[in-house]
Structure 1
C-alpha cells in the first residue's frame, strides 16, 4: 500500500469519526443548555445565546494556533479533548457535569474542524469522510430508533464510542504532518452540512411523525438509501460537471423538506425530499471540495465563519419557536442550505476519478441500511390482546419533556419503567418529540411505543416534530388533531382526541392537551378555545369524555373557570397534589377533567425524576 493511499484512508476515516462525534455532541449540547443551564420557554433567549457564543467565539484562536509548525498537534489535541468529554458523558454524567462535558465536547469538535482546515487535510478525502459520518448517523438512528451514542446502553454505546475514538485519534496522528493546499469552500460548508443533516436528513423520526398508527415503514428505508447514495456521490465527486444544479437542488429540496405541511403535520411524502437531501448534502460537499487552492489562514477563517454563522442561524431557528418574530422560521434553514450552495459553486472544472469499487461499496451500504430499517419496522407493532375494552380504565397523564430527565439525561427506558410500573390502559403524553434537534433529535414516541407495545397516536402543535400523543392498549377511532390558534403565543398549543370503543357498546372520548404560555402566562383565550373544542366533541358524539394534560396553571387560577363550567375537576378531592418540578414538587400544573357519568378513584402521583414533571395516574369507572 502506498503512503499516499494510506494517508488518504487515514484522512477519510478521521474526518468520518470526527464529524460523527461532533454531530453526536451537538445532540447532547443543545438539550443540555436548554434543560440544565436554563429552561426553554422560561429562561430569556438572550441568556442562551450569550452562553452559546461564549463557547464558540473563542474558537477563532484555533486559526493562528494551527498555523505554525507546532500547530500540527492541534487537531490531535482537540480530538483527544473531545473524546475525553465523550467518555465522561458515556459514563453517565448528568446535571452540571453533563452540561459542561457536552460544551467541551462540542467546542473541541469545532476547534478540531477549524484546525484540520488550517492544516490542509485533503478536501476530497474529508468530504468522503463527512458523507460516511452522515450515513453512519442515519444507520444508527434506524437501528436504535433515533438514540445517539451517549444515551445508548453500555453494550452498544461503549463499542461505538471506542471505534470512533480510535479512528479519530489514529487518523489525527497519521495526518499530523499534513500541510495541504486545498480550497476553503469545503471547510465553510462543513458545519452547515452537519447542522442541516441534524435538522432534517438524519432525523428518521420525521418519516414516522404522522398522525395515525402504524407509521410508514418505507420512509426510513428511503432516507437510508439516500444517505448511502450520498457516500457514493461524495466518492464520485458530485453530481455533474457543473455545480449549478447541485446548488439549486439543495435549496429546493431543503424548502420541500422543511416547508411542506399538511395542516401542521408532515405529509406522508415528506420522506422523499428528506431522502433526496440525504443524497444532495454529500454531493454538495464533494463539489465544494474541488474549489481553487486557498491559503491556510483563509481555510481556517472559512471554517470558523461557516460554523459561527450556521450555529447562530440554528439558534435563531429555535428562538423563533419560543418568540414571535417577523421572519418565518424555515428561512433560517434555507440560509444554511444557501451557504452550502455557494460553497458548491466554487468548484473547479476538473473531474475526479471514480474508483471501480465505488458501486460495490454503495450497494453494500444500501443493503445494511435497508436491513436495519426492516428490523425496526418489524419490531414496532403493539401486543395484541383479546380482553374486551370496558371500564374501569386506568389512565396515566405525563409531560415527558421530550424524554429528558430532570437531571438532563435522555432516558426513554426510565420513562417506560415508570409507565409500566403503573400498568395504565391509556397513556396521555405531552411535550412529545419526534426529531427536534434542539431537544436531541430523538423520536420519543416511537421509542416509548417500542418499549410499551401499545398503539400510538400523535398530534403536532406549533411544530410538526413536537406535540401531544396517546398510547393505548386498544386501537382508537375518530382520531382528531386540534390546534388552538392563540395570538401572541409563539409555541401554539394543540390537542389530540380519540374515541375508545368499549366492550359494552358504549364509547369514551379521550383528549390530551398542553397549554402554552406567552410573556404574561397562559392566555385566557387558550382555555376558552379548548372549552369550545371540548363542547364540540361532547355534543357531536354524546359520549362521556376525559381530558388530561399540562395546563401550566394552578388549581386556584380563574382562567380554568370556562373549562370547569363543562367538565368536573377529577383531582379536586386528592389535593394537595403537586406535580412540578419532579425532584421537589411545589405546584400542580397537570390535570384530569371528566364529564358527567364518570367517576375517578385511585389517584396517585408516582415519585420519579424521569421528566421534569411527575405523572398523574387515576382509575375511571361509570358513576353509580
Structure 2
C-alpha cells in the first residue's frame, strides 16, 4: 500500500466504523442511561460529554508514546468494540461498550491528525460511503442484525487496520483547520445532508402535498425512486465538491452560502423544504471541507505550518495542535447534537444550533488561506530552504472515479430500499382490528433497535389499522433510522405521518384500507417541551367511512393535558361529522383524570372499559393506564388485549371494532 494513500484510506474506513458505533452509542445514552426521559436531560448530556472530554488527554501522550502507536491501539479498540456490540444483547453492556468504542474512535482521529497532513478526501469518501450503506440497508444498520453483518465488517476492519499501520510519520506543515471541521461535518452530514431517512421523509411530504394532504406525509408513488434521486444527488454533489481540484471550483463564497442556506431551510422546520435543503447542504459542506484543506505554500520553519497559528516549538507542537483541533471539533459535534435534541425535554428553540454550526464551517472555509498556486505553472515566491519555481496544483486522478462510483452506488442503494407502499385491500366486512402502540422510536427496553420484535408484536394481532406514537424518522440522536418506513414495509401497509416535535418526529396511521382523506392540527403547547398534534385519517371500510384520529398528548410540567384533550376531542368530533370515530394513542392521562373526562364529555366512549384495569406502561411492569382507544356511539369493541412484550417501553393495545350496519 502506498504511504501517500494510506491516510485517506484509513480516514475513510475509520469514519465508516466510527459512525456505526455512534449510531449505537447515542441512542443507548437515551434509552439505557436516560431510561427514556426518566433521567434528567442535563445528566444525559453530561454523560455523553464526558467521553469526548476524556479523549482530550490523548495528545499529551503523543510525544512520549508516539501518536502512531496510540492511533493503532485506538483503531484496534474501535474495531473490537464494533465487532462485539451485537453480542451484548443490549442494556448496560451495550451502553458502555459503545462508549468505549466512541472514546477509541476519538483518540484514533486525534492520532491520525497528528500523523497525516490532511484527511479531508478520506473523510468525504467515508461519510459518503456510510450514507450509501445506510441507504442500502433501509436505515436498519448491520449492527442490529444477525451474523451476516460480519461479511462486510471483517474486510472493512482489516482494511482499516492495515491502512492505519502504514500511515506516514509526522507532517509539520499540515493545517489544523480542516481537522477541526471533522466534528461539525459529522453533525451536519448525519443530521441533514447525508441522512437517507431525512431524504425519505422529505420525499413523503412532497407526495402528501401532491395528494392534497395538509402537512401529512404519505408513501411516495413510484416506490423508492424519489429517495434514490435525493440520496444520489446529495452523495454525488458532496463527492464532486469535496474532491474537486481548486482550479475547478466556483467563487469561494458559493459553497459556504449553499451550506448556510440549506441548513437554514432545515432549521426552519418546513417539511416541504427538506428536498431542497438536503442537496444544498451536501454541496455546500463538501465545498467547505475542500476549501479548508486547500494546499498552501510551505511555511518558514518555526511558524507552526500552513493554516495554523504561529508556534515556536517546531513540528511536535504543530502535530499536537492538529490533534487538539480535531478533538475540539468533536466537542462541537456533541454539544450541538445534545443541545439540539435536549430542547425536546427542556423546551427552548433549537433550530439555531445546526445553523450556528453551519455558519462556523462556512466562516472557516471562506477564511482559509488561498491556494499557493491557483493556476498551474504560476511560480511560488521564495520559501527558505525551497527553490522557487513552477509548481502544480495537486491532482487527484482518482477523484473522478470515486465520484462516479459513489453516485452509482447511491442510485443502486436507493433503488434497493423497500418503499412499504402497501396496497389498499378491498374490505367487505364491518369488523376492523386496530392496534395502538407507542413504539419509543423503535427501541426496546434493552436499548436495542429491535425491528423484528416490534414487527412481531404488531403483526401478531393481524391488524387492519395501526396507530403509532413516538415515531422517529431521522433523528441523529436515535441512529438516523426511518422507523416508520421500515415498519410499513414489513407490515405491508401504507402510512400517513404527521409531525409533532419537528418534521421527522410525530404520530402515524398505518393501514391497508383505502384512505379517502387525511389532515393534521397542532395542539396547544401549554408549556410542554415536546409539541403535539392530532392526525385525522378517513378510511373506507366497504361502503362506509371510518374516521381514525392518532395523537400523543403531552402534559404540561404542572398538570395533565386537559387543554390538549379538549382540542383534540373537538377536532375529532368536527372531522367525524357523525361518521364512526376512533381516537387512539398515548394520551398521558388515566381513567378518571380531568383530561380523560374532557374526552368523554365530547361524546366519546372508553373502548377498553370492559377490560379495565388495563395498564400499559412501563412494559416490563405496567402500572399506568395511559394508552387508550376511545370511540363514538355505535362502534362495538371486542377482543381487547394489552399485548405482552418489551419491544417498547409501552405495551400495544389491540381490539376489534364492529361498525354499525347500514
Q: Match of 1:279, SS? A: helix
Spell out, residue by residue over 1:492-513, the C-alpha distance to the aligned partner (whole angstroms, 9 max, x if none). 111211111121x221101111
Question: What does 1:385-396 align with in structure 2 at a 5 Å threshold?
Answer: 385=425, 387-396=426-435
8 Å contact 2:269–2:502 — kept in the other structure?
no
* Structure having the higher Rg: 2
**Stretch deviating more after TM superposition (429-438 or 43-52):** 43-52
- Using structure 1 for the length normalisation, give the TM-score: 0.92
Residue pairs, 1:16-55, within 5 angstroms? 16-55=12-51
Give the 3 Å change call, closer, same or farther, for CA 357–324 of structure 1 in structure 2: closer
8 Å contact kept, 2:498–2:533 = yes
Matched residues in 2 for 1:590 and 1:405: separation?
A: 17
Distance 2:518 2:364 in 1: 46
Tell me the residue number matched to 1:191. 183
**Aligned Cα root-mean-square deviation (Å):** 2.0
- Which of 314, 319, 322 is equivalent to 2:342? 319
The question of whether the paired residues in 2 share the 8 Å contact of 1:8 and 1:122 is answered with no
Give the direction of change, closer, same or farther, for the CA distance of 1:354–1:233 in structure 2 (3 Å limit): farther
User: Where does structure 1 differ by over 4 angstroms across 4 or more consecutive aligned residues?
Assistant: none
Equivalent position SS for 1:583: coil
Name the residue aligned to 1:527: 565
SS in 2 for 1:167: helix
Displacement, 1:519?
Answer: 2.2
Partner of 1:148: 141
Task: Map residues 535-550 of structure 1 onto 2, 5 A cutoff.
Answer: 535-539=573-577, 542-550=578-586
Shift, 1:241, TM fit: 6.8
The DSSP-based 3-state class of the residue aligned with 1:608 is coil
Alignment partner, residue 283 of structure 1:
287
> CA, structure 1 residues 68+389, in 2 after alignment: closer, same or farther (shift >3 Å)?
farther
**1:331 pairs with one of 352, 369, 372:** 352
1:69 Cα offset (Å): 5.6
Q: Aligned to 2:104, what secondary structure does the other structure show?
A: helix
CA distance in 1, matches of 2:450, 2:551: 23
Does the C-alpha gap of structure 1 residues 133 and 361 become closer, same or farther in structure 2, counting only changes over 3 Å? closer
Distance 1:339 1:389, change over 3 A: farther
Look up the match of 1:255.
264
Return 73-82 or 169-178, whichever deviates more: 169-178
Provide the rounded CA distance (Å) in 2 between the counterparts of 1:237 and 1:42. 50
Task: State whether structure 2 residue 380 is matched by structure 1 residue 380.
Answer: no
| Match in the other structure for 2:407 | 366
Q: Give the structure 2 partner of residue 464 of structure 1.
A: 503
Q: CA deviation at 1:9?
A: 2.2
**Residues 130-141 of structure 1 correspond to what in structure 2 (within 5 A)?**
130-141=123-134
Assess if the C-alpha contact under 8 Å between 1:392 and 1:622 holds in 2.
Answer: yes
1:244 corresponding residue in structure 2: 253
Residue 78 (str. 1) matches residue 88 (str. 2):
no
SS at match of 1:7: coil
Contact 2:129 2:406 in 1 (8 A): no
The aligned residue for residue 100 of structure 1 is 96
- CA shift, 1:148, in A, is 2.5
**Distance in 1 (alpha carbons) for counterparts of 2:424 and 2:659:** 26
Contact 1:225 1:370 in 2 (8 A): no
1:566-585 superposed matches below 5 A: 566-585=603-622
The answer for the alignment partner of 1:432 in structure 2 is 471
Deviation at 1:623, TM superposition (A): 5.4
Q: Which residue of 2 aligns with 1:122?
A: 117
d(CA) in 2 for partners of 1:584 and 1:332?
38
Number of the residue aligned with 2:599: 563
Offset at residue 562 of structure 1 (A): 1.0
- C-alpha distance in 1 between matches for 2:218 and 2:611: 34
**Shift of residue 180 of structure 1?**
4.8
* Partners of 1:7 and 1:518 in 2: CA distance: 59
CA distance in 1, matches of 2:508, 2:647: 18
Contact preservation (8 Å) 1:17, 1:164: yes
Between Structure 1 and Structure 2, how many residues are aligned? 604
Q: Find the aligned partners of 1:149 and 1:160 in 2 and give their Cα distance.
A: 9
Residues in 2 aligned to 1:273 and 1:486: alpha-carbon distance in whole angstroms: 27
CA 43–177 in structure 1, closer or farther in 2 if over 3 Å, else same: same
Q: 1:521 to 1:151 in 2, by over 3 A?
A: farther
- Counterpart CA distance in 1 for 2:428 and 2:508 is 20
Gaps of 5+ in 1: none
Aligned to 1:223: 231
Contact in 1 for aligned 2:227/2:414 (Cα 8 Å): no
- Deviation by residue 1:144-188 (Cα, 9 ceiling, x = unmatched): 111223123432x22232233112211111116444530000111
Counterpart secondary structure, 1:602: strand
Q: Aligned partners of 1:242 and 1:623: how far apart in 2?
A: 68
8 Å Cα contact 2:435/2:463 also seen in 1 = yes
Q: Deviations over 1:388-445 (max 9, x none)?
A: 2431110011111111111110022211111111101111111111101122210001
The 3-state SS of whatever aligns with 1:91 is helix
CA distance in 1: counterparts of 2:72 and 2:401, whole angstroms: 32
Which residue does 1:554 correspond to in 2? 590
Q: Give the TM-score normalised by structure 2.
A: 0.87
Q: What corresponds to 2:544 in structure 1?
A: 506
**Alpha-carbon shift at residue 560 of structure 1 (Å):** 1.1
Distance change (3 Å), C-alpha of 1:75 and 1:356: closer
CA contact (8 A) 1:222 1:272 kept: no
| Residues in 1 aligned to 2:659 and 2:169: alpha-carbon distance in whole angstroms | 77
TM superposition shift of 1:353: 3.2
Distance 1:545 1:384, change over 3 A: closer
Distance 2:292 2:555 in 1: 44
Alpha-carbon spacing, 1:478–1:491, altered in 2? closer, same or farther (3 Å): same
String of CA shifts for 1:251-271, please: whole Å, max 9, x gaps. Answer: 12211233251xxxx11x522
Residues 622 and 222 of structure 1: CA distance in aligned 2, closer, same or farther (over 3 Å): closer
Any gaps of 5 or more consecutive residues in structure 2? 206-215, 296-305, 309-317, 375-392
The match for 1:303 among 303, 326, 349 is 326
What is the DSSP-based 3-state SS (H/G/I as helix, E as strand, rest coil) of the residue aligned with 2:457? helix
Q: What's the secondary structure of 2:157's corresponding residue?
A: helix
Deviation sequence 1:230-276 (CA, Å, 0-9, x none): 22332224662753332232212211233251xxxx11x52232023
How far, CA to CA, are the matches of 2:30 and 2:83 in structure 1? 22
For 1:129 and 1:586, the matched residues in 2 are separated by 52
1:455–1:475 Cα contact (<8 Å) kept: no
Residue among 636, 641, 646 paired with 1:609: 646
2: CA distance, partners of 1:296 / 1:622: 73
CA spacing shift, 1:207–1:390, aligned 2, 3 Å: farther
Displacement after TM superposition at 1:127 (Å): 0.8
Matched, 1:273 2:289: no
